[in-house]
Amino acid sequence: MPRTIALKPEQVPAESKQTLDAFTKSIGFTPNMMAAFAQSPIAFNAWAILLGSLSKALDVKTRDSIGLAVSEVNGCNYCLTVHSFTAEHMAKLPADDIILARKGHANDPKRDAAVQFAQKVIETRGQVSDADLSAVRDAGYTDANIIEIVTLVAMYSLTNFFNNVFDPEKDFPAVLPAGSI
């Protein structure tokens, strides 16, 4: 049962309305997480700016794979439904690749290094080893790319934590519970 309500359009604070309306127009509907997050214009708009900026980082398959790996570690079933859906429909990842990403891997060697590194970042709270950093660099990622990976981990963790705390009603098809794959 949700721990907070998704706001109806007339309940959205004026400072959140433009951002929420833009998401609704882009996606075609208003996800419950966003309608709940919009209760705080400061937090919601900051997240939206970060999300928009990071949509230019790396490639969509890598971003969604990182989102899946981080959401799995954080046990966020809401985000796993979202990232599973977007990985399939937007990033065009096959079902096996989605499962692999949830386990912290990818079939593509370069993406695999990024996903493994992202998983290490979240599992160690950033206390990665020199070998972890070398592995992602050896795969062809620059320090700027590595900063983007770390920032993606942080952004996905933010939505994971929000959804774990408030448990909004899921908008996307259910996936197996975290940890059961």
Mean pLDDT of 114-123: 98
Q: What is the pLDDT of residues 130-168, one digit of tens each?
A: 999 999 999 999 999 999 999 999 999 999 999 999 999
**CA end-to-end distance (rounded Å), the chain:** 24
pLDDT at 82: 94
SS3 string, 31-66, reads CHHHHHHCCCHHHHHHHHHHHHHHCCCCCHHHHHHH
Which of 103, 156, 122 has the alpha carbon at shortest distance from 132? 122
Residues above pLDDT 70, as percent of the chain = 97
Q: pLDDT tens-digit profile of 31-76?
A: 999 999 999 999 999 999 999 999 999 999 999 999 999 999 999 9
Q: Within a 10 A sphere around the Cβ of 167, how many other Cβ atoms?
A: 18
Max intra-chain CA distance, the chain? 52
DSSP letter assigned to residue 176: P
What does pTM read for this prediction? 0.93
Q: Is the pLDDT assigned to residue 179 strictly greater than 70? A: no
pLDDT reading at 99 higher than 90: yes
| Run of H or E including 120 | helix 109-123
Which pLDDT band holds residue 10 (cuts at 50, 70, 90)?
Answer: confident
Which pLDDT value is given to residue 177?
66
Tokens coding 87: 């990985």
Structure tokens at 151: 């920032």
